[in-house]
Structure 1
Amino acid sequence: MSADITTAPATGVNAYAFPRHEQTFPVLTPQEIERMRRFGVPRSYRDGEALFETGTVGPGMFVVLSGTVAVSQRDGLGHVTPIIDQGAGQFLAEIGQLSGRLALVDGHAEGDVETLLIPPDQLRALLVAEAELGERIMRALILRRVSLIQGGAGGPVLIGSASLGDTARLQNFLARNGQPHHVLDPATDKDAADLVARYATSRADLPLVVCLDGRVLRNPSEPEIAYAIGMIGEHNHEKLYDVAVVGSGPAGLATAVYAASEGLSVAVFDARAFGGQAGASARIENYLGFPTGISGQALAGRAFNQAQKFGANMLIPVSIRSLDCSRTDGAFGLATDCGKNMRAKSVVVASGARYRRPEIANLEKFEGRGVWYWASPIEGKLCLGQDVVLVGGGNSAGQAAVFLSGHARKVYMVIRGGGLGASMSRYLIERIEATDNIELMFNTELVGLESDDDASLARVRWRSRLGPEEHSLDIRNVFLFVGADPATGWLDGCGVMVDRGGFVVTGAQCKQKDGQQASPLETSVPGVFAVGDVRSGSVKRVGGAIGEGAQVVAALHGYLADAMKPSL
């Protein structure tokens, strides 16, 4: 299944194209519909009646038994654009209906319509029970989301210049999470200019975000826009999950897929987007099974869809502030940033690592406004024809440098050490050395960032580690890939042991309070496991993280089985 739900959006609202039309809108046979009846309930609609509406929770997947349903896109500005009509034998849904998310389009009956409504939980059951039919449906759901993204339709409208750092910040957030959206520039669009005149009292208010229900947000944070557009579905805070997975990088996603497919109830939390650092990789070429390479977003998007298919509850972006290991009620407590606690019988720490922030004055001021910790097509457009600086010497830095070299006039690659061989794969070194517009600057460090009149990044300063001289260059975009620190602050005080670097200790390296030896991926607290980059001693590779995510599920089954045994 090759569809990538994180494809960069097109610029036009009505840019619909269905190159794989038969796969995107398949027609079911009467026999297939008959097999689906046990998963749904009949529903009838009169002419003009709505089956689903933009911005409301979608009821599930509709199979059209007779009549025609007109599907259209409606944005918060009141623009309505027809998309497609669906008739008998076709079905109405996209990937969001696997987990009961908000509908991104409208569907109205044209004449009397008879349907079979399959709610989200039964849709997931159908996909698993009917393998061949389920594959066709799943492919169509993904391709429909791809079409919405590429058409720039079915989501919020961002109003602001594409060159504005905060516009790029929100675009990147939405794209990383596979959310359709489009951008209007007030310099060229009258409706956008009118809204800016009405709602934006200063440049700091931009971009404006017009939600599906017409609400206007002024330069919102990522969690604010996520809640406003319904990215986080309804979930029961009282539910006791078998497994809580904190982090949705490759390790966390692998845990979610394998655990949910084996019948465990799973909740996955991530503070930003699925995929972690790997999700920001422009191209991964040394991952098994992809000889031509695959983008980190495509790889993570497939895993994200798999996890939903098997019923994992994906809570993104939801940040875990702390972990309560007292288990006074027999469960671990996870305090979220939305102020409500979640409960689980076991916890998998997959929170990964974050790129380090160099000791540079005012660095935070420029983050998302010229300083980036990832390199996507959105940032690539910002850098078109410009000189950029990239700091770092690992594989992620190498992948980003090669990607940016296709957009920027020149990429200055700043490396503290004297070479790349100790931290980068040989194939990347050879590619960088063969790229004319990448300049390697060894034994060099970034020391200063300067702004222009509108507070955007305008100039950088660096110096050689072999001498005192400083140099400067007019640069508007800097990419930082400088080592990594474990994201383990939320574990403070819960009893989980970490090493000197803050990475979680597991297995033979730690003893538990009762004197028992922890299993290979278990921490010093029974029932808490760690996988991927956050784990002390892990190999810090995508393949290794995925392997640990699969491996930990056997340990989870063992722990949960022991916990269910009656005490003597």
Structure 2
Amino acid sequence: MANPVILSLDDDPAVSRAVARDIRRRYGDRFRVVRAGSGPEALAALREIKLRGEQVAVLLADYRMPEMTGIEFLEEAMDLFPAARRVLLTAYADTGAAIDAINLVDLDHYLLKPWHPPEEKLYPVVDALLEAWSSSPESTATELRVVGHRWSAPSFAVRDFLARNLVPYRWLLADDPEAGRLLAAAGASADDLPLVVAADGTTLVAPSEAELAGLVGMTVAPAADFYDLVVVGGGPAGLGAAVYGASEGLRTVLVERLATGGQAGQSSRIENYLGFPDGVSGAQLTDRARRQALKFGAELLSTREVVGLSEAGSARLVHFGDGGTIAAHAVVLATGVSYRMLDAPGLTEFTGRGVFYGSAATEAPSCVGEDVYIVGGANSAGQAAVHFSRYAARVHLLIRGADLTASMSRYLIDQLDGIDQVTVHPHTEVVAAAGDEHLQRLTLRDTRTGERREVDASWLFVFIGAEPRTGWLDGVLVRDERGFVTTGPDLVAGGQRPPGWSLPRDPYHLESSMPGVFAAGDVRTASVKRVASAVGEGAMAVSLVHRYLENQ
């Protein structure tokens, strides 16, 4: 297969040659460098590359060009190679336009000209973009294939699991000729779907998450029975705890029920996280954190549900749903929160068949030219609205309040105001859903007047509230009335230590009512629901674990 392409576009011949020279010097042994002098010329080159079945890794385009601006080119190029990383070359005076383009064309980076020396100002940027591209599902011709029905909740569950764990796959509908051949080879029928076929020919019919994890090489069994630290939950707080725990010499294992990243991992772009001025997708941030934890020696267990926690002398036992246990000196609970289910007639039966909780980024390309409805007024809903606006004809953001200011960051509100395809519907709620094999209609209600109206809708994405998954801690740890884990000073309000507390000291700041068990991130009472604070609490929890162990 031909080397992937890095394409540079600039109407100034001298600049064009310089870009191609610098790129070729560093990457010419692994990538084919193509340069163009105008937008139409570059698009023609991309179409030819597409016809040959080749891949494009990075697109670099100058902002100011007379025939077609760099932003206009990148916007059209997205339709041909949506996974290619996009860079805008710009002068200092045009940085405002470059920042706006981050949202318009999902820009990955902008580079100020000139960038000499390239070793400091060009290559680190391109290195990071190529690394991100190489980990995307579209970057390799994978042999993992998934056959399923378009409107099937089990088929969606398989695709969503693979996508959230950054496992590349190829999706085939049941009526595809290749799908028919795969079904015949597996001795299966269309009634048995979804079907997963690996590169070596191994097939799984309607697989469980654990079976999928084993097929793609994810770790599902612990390497030991005892650890210094068990981290429960693989969101930002859990990954932060795993990175800091392992890097500071603690034998650490992270246990995740579904996929690392949590709700943040599903975000299309996080723009207010420190150190990422151009924004970063939740998947990219999660992948970097996961690899960082592994580099320091942490174990990451997938598809293992924790259902119990108990004491055994100085050890803390974590119980799995399959009856297994692991023990540790200390535990960090970082299970985060789950989106609340929308309670309206008809919605439950269409979950995974038009109704989705969270961003469900795998569905975005299927929404081209259609209307998308999003319920929620916080940052996650706003980020989803920005993301889906690149595909959908219109995005309808349904909120119960009068406006977004009470729950959404200002930068996101400003972005939504600038996107013509997004309409915010205040004082609106979903009260019913209907359809045949999938969602086809929604009934909306005005919360002020009670007036109802029915709309055609095949796509509904729900981002309402948050509920901690802590039912398994009932009777084990002190929790507040909503189920969040109470920690530190909140446990000694009124001067009384929590029932059963056996130590002569008060609980540490993030420590729960069981000594040696800490809570970090969204699962903790009164936590700040932001990625940065969750990562910080994960790191802080490890510091408190060290203090706990030193005083044992």
Bin for the TM-score computed over the shorter chain: 0.7 to 0.9
Calculate the TM-score normalised by the size of structure 2: 0.73
Q: Deviations over 1:502-557 (max 9, x none)?
A: 11111111134236311111111100000101111111111111111111111111
Q: Which has the higher contact order (CA 8 A, sep 6+)?
A: 1
| Correspondent of 1:181 among 153, 166, 169 | 169
Partner of 1:464: 446
How many residues are matched? 437
| Correspondent of 1:356 among 340, 347, 350 | 340
2-structure distance, mates of 1:210, 1:444: 44
| Correspondent of 1:557 among 543, 546, 551 | 546
Q: Deviations over 1:365-387 (max 9, x none)?
A: 22222122232542111211111
Partner of 2:400: 416
User: Higher helix proportion, which one?
Assistant: 2
Flag the 1:262–1:364 CA change in 2: closer, same or farther, 3 A: same
Partner of 1:210: 197
Partner of 1:44: none
Q: Secondary structure at the match of 2:385?
A: helix
Are 2:261 and 2:283, in contact at CA under 8 Å, matched by a contact in 1? yes
Partner of 1:399: 383
Flag the 1:21–1:534 CA change in 2: closer, same or farther, 3 A: farther
Are 2:242 and 2:298, in contact at CA under 8 Å, matched by a contact in 1? yes
Flag the 1:316–1:295 CA change in 2: closer, same or farther, 3 A: same
**Which residue identity is paired with 2:292?**
Q
2-structure distance, mates of 1:362, 1:425: 32
Are 1:282 and 1:376, in contact at CA under 8 Å, matched by a contact in 2? no
- Sequence identity of aligned pairs in percent? 42
Flag the 1:24–1:208 CA change in 2: closer, same or farther, 3 A: farther
2-structure distance, mates of 1:431, 1:348: 36
**Gap regions ≥5 residues in structure 1:** 1-13, 28-135, 564-568
Aligned ranges for residues 190-205 of structure 1 at < 5 Å?
Answer: 190-197=177-184, 203-205=190-192
Partner of 1:67: none
**Gap regions ≥5 residues in structure 2:** 7-22, 31-123, 492-496
Structure 1 position 490, deviation (Å): 2.2
**Which residue identity is paired with 2:466?**
A
1-structure distance, mates of 2:26, 2:262: 30
Partner of 2:271: 285
| Correspondent of 1:294 among 274, 277, 280 | 280
Aligned ranges for residues 450-529 of structure 1 at < 5 Å?
Answer: 450-452=434-436, 455-494=437-476, 496-510=477-491, 511-512=497-498, 513-514=501-502, 516-529=505-518
2-structure distance, mates of 1:24, 1:537: 49
Are 1:18 and 1:147, in contact at CA under 8 Å, matched by a contact in 2? no
Q: Secondary structure at the match of 1:520?
A: coil
Q: Secondary structure at the match of 1:463?
A: strand
Aligned ranges for residues 5-404 of structure 1 at < 5 Å?
Answer: 17=4, 143=131, 146=134, 149-154=137-142, 156-160=144-148, 166-188=154-176, 190-197=177-184, 203-232=190-219, 234-238=221-225, 240-324=226-310, 326-328=311-313, 330-375=314-359, 377-404=361-388
Flag the 1:560–1:207 CA change in 2: closer, same or farther, 3 A: same
**Which residue identity is paired with 1:229?**
V
Structure 1 position 214, deviation (Å): 2.8
Q: Secondary structure at the match of 2:423?
A: strand
2-structure distance, mates of 1:522, 1:177: 30
Flag the 1:181–1:23 CA change in 2: closer, same or farther, 3 A: farther
2-structure distance, mates of 1:559, 1:250: 23
Q: Deviations over 1:113-156 (max 9, x none)?
A: xxxxxxxxxxxxxxxxxxxxxxx9xx89x949926833444563
**Which residue identity is paired with 1:395?**
N
2-structure distance, mates of 1:270, 1:393: 28
Q: Deviations over 1:62-87 (max 9, x none)?
A: xxxxxxxxxxxxxxxxxxxxxxxxxx
Q: Secondary structure at the match of 1:303?
A: helix
Structure 1 position 212, deviation (Å): 4.2
**Which residue identity is paired with 1:179?**
V
Are 2:133 and 2:139, in contact at CA under 8 Å, matched by a contact in 1? no
Are 1:327 and 1:333, in contact at CA under 8 Å, matched by a contact in 2? yes
RMSD: 3.1
Structure 1 position 258, deviation (Å): 0.7
2-structure distance, mates of 1:26, 1:507: 56
Question: Once structures 1 and 2 are overlaid, which stretch shifts more, 385-394 or 213-222?
Answer: 213-222
Structure 1 position 304, deviation (Å): 0.5
Are 1:152 and 1:181, in contact at CA under 8 Å, matched by a contact in 2? no
